[in-house]
Structure 1
């Protein structure tokens, strides 16, 4: 299988390494390469991976995705802005696209929510593996400085090296994922975009208090009706849209929502349906290796099941 990676960056390089180990070849298309040459490069490949950083309104992600499909090549996306800002352009092509890595990773959460006939009523999720990792490590007695260093070394952080920078970056990462989840689930008449969220900026003192409590996670709740219970120590973000409350908060996992402990660095989700009860799913969610591995799996599946 010949893979064309648009990026490439750390994820693209890791993807190439893993692909080589499975007998595939990878070539790269840089973000500064002329866009008018991309179609030909895509036509010369079997599949396309898009691993450019999530920034702006997702214009580049959507351009490369649609150009790949126009060239007759399936595509897998790692960047999150396309789902968050331009889901209406993505949704018609999901049968030829891999989007798993944009939220939930190997848990397959996004594939599960693409079933509107089941009547989605509530999602409770820990979608950010980086913050879950840091909270888990400090709960084990590791100093926060060491937990941050480990997260950075493993390629888990979204940019920046300071504690406040990391928390801001991961909060924004979670907002992008949350928007994408809501949009792909089709629960809103109009797309939910990240700019609609009200956010709280935590000081270093507040962050250290959270880490010192040794029991919190960054939990996102998307609830069809207003909630009656207050969970948060410090809220992260909030938006109300079309009868849904969407809350991102630092809170202690409720055992009625998360069955058992939330493992270190894992993404954990409980989905409640009107017609199908509840589904509990978990999976690796953070880091370069987990992302590249999921991308490669999607590319192999798309290639094997390609529609002629």
Structure 2
């Protein structure tokens, strides 16, 4: 089995960033990727690379990015041995949390029905055709593919989870040179003041940040003037100015810091220098949208809610309520 060749994987993107005048970012990324893959490689890297290598080669793969499941198809059906290779390779990349996906008839029923979130958000977006998009905390890249399906010119997702990267590559390797990339870096690894993206998504990230206003300012720094922020996060009901800070865990998660009300979040956006901020959707997360599946066999939302009152978490806090807001950078 060949080692993970990150220079070949990310080289075209690094070259493109340099051509676009983002030379400093390209060089910073090169250093970060060197540290991540050469200096301190993850212990599961070989296992994930082996799973990726196991996937059968298909020379005529086509992508369908306007469906609930990001779907790969082929004019020629897979032979039985290819179907087994495909299944074993995809199983080797478990757990699958964000999706769903369909690989040549093998459907991956992920923990999250991420298509439901996309269906809630998409009607409120500016036309994505030709836009340069950043997706912060993109997971396996499901929404990145949906953005490309809407005509985006270039999509860059960032998420530090290396398993997510290999899940993303399991799709991209079938599609070749498409303008979608996933970088295994954190938001704080991006240079300040990039000001290069037309749209920046931050979905399911803000409540994990100890300093949420700093996150809003970091996001603003990625946008060009007039660029659009799409923000989705956990909220609670209550008056302007109120924000819930859990004593310890929220829904068994330790890394949840602030759950504001929608009005408080609008104030945060205003104080952070955004304009025309508005709430476009508020939806309670259900156990139909987030649940354990055969592709994600660990505990999920039903285990994090009070069994006697599913409107509350096991800690007694209000159950997960998610709001999506859109705002512009002046």
Same fold (TM over 0.5): no
Q: TM-score, normalised by structure 2?
A: 0.33
Structure in which a larger fraction of residues adopt helix:
1
Radius of gyration: which is bigger?
A: 2
Q: With a CA cutoff of 8 Å and minimum separation of 6, indicate the structure with the bigger relative contact order.
A: 1
